């Protein structure tokens, strides 16, 4: 008997990370890492856990959006959902009235992600597998049946997607064993948030180097002199052979981005991330073209709201690194579409992670990408941020700067109930201590 979803609960959970400037960047100066946290309850007692990531204020709006959608989920059995997962994805994203609030972007899409992440978690638990393994063991036919190809068939048809997946079956077992043995390479963003002092930067960088990290991302974009000083400092500490990336979080206009980044070329960044508006595809293309001679690529995706946007970024040659996000796109379903398009265009995927729960979630997707889609580690790495893992039942495991594949069934985003209770906004005990925003 397939479990039937009988109740959906959603809670507003916030962590006061802004107190210590964790997560700060040129546009988000005081983020409180937060989540709309969803629990699906079934008649058999099995539960599914999902979330979408937010920065504090406004999480209550996402919670409301999830509540508005629960009628589409309650009463469905897991079997009914996954038998036609594409249809279920469409049901959530194409409701004749609610789609007006998106479509497939903004708050309503974040809510879709939270709900669908919980459904995937439920499915993986039901099968007794971690999500990445559920995906790895699925047939190519089953995988493509989860994807909504609407609006992307000019670039990727279902038949082509199937072909790509069938081709990538070769060597799959060896890659799975390799991942279980060695893990997936990661980079760290935790050393150089914008609000950290030079002293902190140095200390965190020293610790990270000791811990085996070789790839580092630095926040830039508020003040050029500060950026030059901070980036030189980090480059000096990590040496010429380690990798450095910079991230401006959408701070600049197009020409400003080109000149600002040219001024930082001496520190040899592999990429500039989110140089300008996340919606400006042609702007990113112009930046990519201007920076290519300097050997600097453009990375973006954490605020790229759907597969249609990614399609156009790829068509326009506007990015050289695709940064999928487990909570911005419509969960695994839409991420599968983007992984396959990126593979077709031969653009490496380097997922966005961090926040709260994003590392836990996205590790599954990138493991699947390597084992079953890209079959390559060249120019690829997954972001890692060292905050808030202690609140999860199955936190990520990092060894030698690599994500070790999770072994426990599910999608890894179940939080400890004690943490949820304590950080629930606005009544949790934690928020009795901290000033409310």
Ligand X SMILES: C[C@H](O)[C@@H](O)[C@@H](O)[C@H](O)C(=O)O
Contact between 352 and ligand X by CB under 6 A: the answer reads: yes
Q: Smallest distance from the beta carbon of 139 to Mg ion, in angstroms?
A: 35
Tell me 66's DSSP state.
H
Residue 31 near ligand X by CB under 6 A: yes
* One character per residue 52-91, x = contact with ligand X (rule: CB under 6 A): ---x------------------------------------
Stretch in the footprint of Mg ion (CB under 5 A) among 66-74, 126-134, 166-174, 241-249: 241-249
Assess 25 for contact with ligand X (CB under 6 A): yes
Nearer to ligand X, 109 or 352 (CB): 352
Residue 237: what are its φ and ψ, rounded to 5°? -70, -40
What's the CA gap between 51 and 73, in Å, rounded? Answer: 15
Count interface residues toward Mg ion (CB under 5 A). 2
Nearest to 382 by CA among 242, 189, 148: 189
The region, left, alpha or beta by phi > 0 then psi within -120 to 50, assigned to residue 96 is: alpha
Measured from the CB of residue 310, what is the shortest distance to ligand X in angstroms? 17
- The residue among 129, 126, 146, 133 whose CA lies nearest residue 172 is 133
Q: Which is nearer to ligand X, 29 or 157 (CB)?
A: 29
Binding span for ligand X by CB under 6 A among 92-100, 113-121, 207-215, 348-356: 348-356
In 138-197, where does DSSP find H-type helix?
140-144, 158-167, 172-182
The residue sitting closest to ligand X, measured at its beta carbon, is 23
**Residue count of the chain:** 437
Token pair, residue 425, equals 């906004």
Closest to ligand X by CB, 302 or 369: 302
Q: Which residue of the set 22, 105, 219, 311 is catalytic?
A: 219
Phi, psi of 37, deg, nearest 5: -110, 120
Q: Is 302 near ligand X (CB under 6 A)?
A: yes
Does position 363 interact with ligand X (CB under 6 A)? The reply is: no
* Of 352, 364, 387, 423, catalytic: 352
Q: Please, which contacts does 86-89 make with residues 24 or more away whose CB atoms are closer than 8 Å?
A: 86/145, 86/146, 86/147, 86/148, 86/333, 88/119, 89/116, 89/146, 89/148, 89/330, 89/333, 89/334
- Minimum CB separation of residue 202 from ligand X in Å reads 20
- Segment near Mg ion (CB under 5 A), from 66-74, 246-254, 384-392, 428-436? 246-254
Q: Does 104 bind ligand X (CB under 6 A)?
A: no
Per DSSP, the residues of 2-55 read --BEEEEEEEEEE--GGGGTTT--SS-SS---EEEEEEEEETTS-EEEEEEEE-
48 near ligand X, judged by CB under 6 A: no
| 3-class secondary structure per residue, 218-251 | EECCCCHHHHHHHHHHHHHHHCCCCEEEEECCCC
Q: How far is the CB of 244 from Mg ion (least distance, A)?
A: 14
Cα–Cα distance for residue pair 328/128, rounded to 1 Å: 26
**Chosen from ligand X, Mg ion, none, partner binding at 335 (C-beta under 5 to 8 Å by type):** none
Catalytic residue flag (residue 217): no
Strand partners, 13: 35, 424
Q: Least distance to Mg ion from the beta carbon of 278, Å?
A: 10
Distance CA 273, CA 346 (A): 19
Is residue 95 close enough to count as binding Mg ion by CB under 5 A?
Answer: no
272-301: contacts with Mg ion (CB under 5 A)? 273
The verdict on 249 binding ligand X (CB under 6 A) reads: yes
- Interface with ligand X (CB under 6 A), residue total 13
Helix (H, G, I), strand (E, B) or coil at 378: coil
Residue 167 bears catalytic tag: no
State how far the Cα of 193 lies from the Cα of 220, in Å rounded to an integer.
Answer: 9
247 is a contact residue toward ligand X (CB under 6 A): yes
189 contacts ligand X (rule: CB under 6 A): yes
The contact pattern for Mg ion, residues 192-231, with x = CB under 5 A and - = no contact, is: ----------------------------------------
247 touches Mg ion (CB under 5 A)? yes
Catalytic residues: 219, 352
Would you tell me which residues interact with ligand X (CB under 6 A)? Answer: 23, 25, 28, 31, 55, 189, 247, 249, 302, 352, 354-355, 383
Report the interface residues with Mg ion, using CB under 5 A.
247, 273
């Amino acid at each position: 008997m397939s479990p039937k979803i009988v109740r959906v609960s959603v809670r507003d959970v916030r962590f006061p990370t802004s107190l210590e400037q964790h997560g700060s960047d040129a546009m988000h100066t005081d983020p409180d890492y937060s989540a709309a946290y969803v629990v699906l309850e079934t008649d058999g007692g099995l539960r599914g856990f999902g979330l979408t990531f937010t920065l504090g204020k406004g999480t209550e709006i996402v919670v409301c959006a999830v509540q508005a959608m629960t009628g589409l989920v309650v009463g469905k059995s897991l079997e009914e959902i996954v038998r036609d997962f594409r249809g279920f994805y469409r049901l959530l994203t194409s409701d004749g009235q609610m789609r007006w609030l998106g479509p497939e972007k903004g708050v309503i899409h974040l809510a879709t992600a939270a709900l669908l992440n919980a459904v995937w978690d439920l499915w993986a638990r039901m099968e007794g597998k971690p999500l990445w393994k559920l995906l790895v063991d699925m047939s190519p036919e089953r995988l493509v049946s989860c994807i909504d190809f609407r609006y992307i068939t000019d670039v990727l048809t279902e038949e082509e997607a199937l072909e790509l997946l069938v081709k990538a079956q070769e060597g799959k077992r060896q890659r799975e064993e390799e991942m279980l043995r060695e893990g997936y390479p990661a980079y760290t963003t935790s050393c150089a948030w914008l609000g950290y002092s030079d002293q902190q930067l140095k200390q965190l960088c020293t610790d990270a180097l000791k811990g085996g990290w070789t790839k580092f991302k630095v926040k830039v974009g508020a003040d050029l002199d500060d950026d030059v000083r901070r980036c030189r400092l980090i480059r000096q500490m990590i040496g010429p052979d380690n990798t450095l990336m910079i991230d401006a979080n959408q701070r600049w206009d197009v020409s400003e981005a080109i000149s600002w980044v040219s001024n930082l070329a001496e520190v040899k960044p592999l990429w500039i991330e989110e140089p300008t508006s996340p919606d400006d595809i042609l702007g990113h293309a112009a930046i990519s073209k201007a920076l290519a001679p300097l050997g600097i690529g453009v990375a973006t995706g954490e605020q790229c709201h759907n597969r249609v946007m990614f399609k156009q970024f790829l068509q326009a040659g506007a990015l050289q690194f695709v940064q999928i996000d487990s909570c911005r796109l419509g969960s695994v379903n839409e991420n599968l579409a983007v992984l396959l398009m990126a593979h077709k265009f031969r653009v490496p995927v380097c997922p966005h992670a961090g926040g709260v729960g994003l590392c836990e979630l996205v590790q599954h997707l990138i493991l699947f990408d390597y084992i079953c889609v890209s079959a390559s580690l060249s120019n690829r790495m997954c972001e890692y941020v060292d905050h808030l893992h202690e609140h999860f039942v199955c936190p990520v495991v990092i060894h030698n700067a690599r994500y070790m594949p999770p072994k426990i069934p599910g999608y890894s985003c179940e939080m400890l109930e004690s943490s949820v209770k304590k950080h629930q906004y606005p009544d949790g005990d934690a928020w009795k201590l901290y000033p409310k925003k």
